[in-house]
Amino acid sequence: MNSVFPLALQPYLEGVETIDFSGRSIATTLYLESGYYLKIAPKGSLVNEAMFTKWFNAK
C-alpha cells in the first residue's frame, strides 16, 4: 500500500499498520499505529479544513 503514497511520506509509513477511519467525507482518513492520522482527498479539497484547524489550534 505504501507505494501509492509520495516518496516523501514513505519513510513515515514504512512498516506501520494503518486503520481506515474514513467516514462519509470525500476524504480517506487513515490512522497510523505511530499515532498520526493521514487524510487523503482530491487536491484543494482540504484547504478550508486546514485553515480552520490552524485557527482552532491558535486559540
Q: Domain coordinates of the chain in residue numbers?
A: 2-58
Q: What is the pLDDT of residues 23-38, one digit of tens each?
A: 777 888 889 888 888 8
Its sign, for the CA torsion 19, 32, 50, 42, is negative
- In this prediction, residue 40 has a pLDDT band, given cuts at 50, 70 and 90, of confident
Report the side by side order of strands in the sheet with 37-40: 18-20, 28-32, 37-40
Of 55, 27, 54, the closest CA to residue 41 belongs to 27
The rounded percent of the chain whose pLDDT value lies above 90 is 14
